[in-house]
A and B are shown apart, each in its own frame.
Chain A
Amino acid sequence: ETGVTQSPTHLIKTRGQQVTLRCSSQSGHNTVSWYQQALGQGPQFIFQYYREEENGRGNFPPRFSGLQFPNYSSELNVNALELDDSALYLCASSLATGLETQYFGPGTRLLVL
C-alpha cells in the first residue's frame, strides 16, 4: 500500500505567476484535503474534494482552485501568486469525509519571489 505522495517537493515562482501542485492519494481513499502551512504556523484548511466534487472550503480566495480526478488524485492550482503564498502545501487523503483519519503527504514547499 503506497502512501500519499506530492509533487514537486520544492518550487520557486515569481509574483503573478500560476502554479499547479499535485497529490496522489493513498490507495482506496476517495477524499483529498489541501492545507497551507506558513512558516511557524499550523496548517490551514484550503478545501476538500470528495469523489471529484468540492466538499468544503476554508477562508481562501477564488484564485486557489482544485481538481480531483477519477483515480482520486488531485491538483491544487494557485493563480496570480502573491508573496504571502509562500508556504508548505500539504495534501491529505482519507477513506471518506468526516472523521476518517487523514493521512498526510510530505508536502510541496512553494517560494514566491
Chain B
Amino acid sequence: AQSVTQPDIHITVSEGASLELRCNYSYGATPYLFWYVQSPGQGLQLLLKYFSGDTLVQGIKGFEAEFKRSQSSFNLRKPSVHWSDAAEYFCAVVPTGANNLFFGTGTRLTVIP
C-alpha cells in the first residue's frame, strides 16, 4: 500500500545536539517530497521540498534533508537544535499525477536545556 512512514513518534534531544528525523515512503514512482513543521496552535510551515536534482536539500531555519532513492527515504537533519525547534514535524509527499499532499503521522520533537 502507498504510505508515508515516520517511525519515531517522539524524539527528545538536548539543545545544541544534532537531530535526524526519519521518513520513508512507499510509492511506485518517486513522489515529490516535503517536510513541514507545526508548532502548538499553529498551522503547518514548509521547511523544505525535493522535486529533482541535488539529493541534499537546504531549507529554512537551518534544516536540511537528504533524498536516498535506494532506501526510499527523505530524512530531515539539523546540526544543532535550538529550544525553539520544539514542535511536530511532518513528512509529506505528492505522488506522481496527484495534486494534494499525503502526510506521515508526525514526529514530536522535545528539546531539553
Contact = CB atoms under 8 A, between A and B. Distances in A.
Given A104-B45, A106-B41, A98 B99 contact: yes
B44 interface: yes
Contact of B103 (A42, A97, A101): A42
Interface residues of A, number: 25
Interface of B: 4, 32, 36, 41-46, 49, 51, 90, 92, 94, 98-106
23 contacts: A33-B100, A42-B90, A42-B92, A42-B103, A43-B90, A43-B101, A43-B103, A45-B102, A48-B100, A56-B98, A56-B100, A90-B44, A92-B44, A97-B99, A98-B94, A98-B99, A99-B32, A99-B51, A99-B94, A103-B46, A105-B43, A106-B41, A106-B42
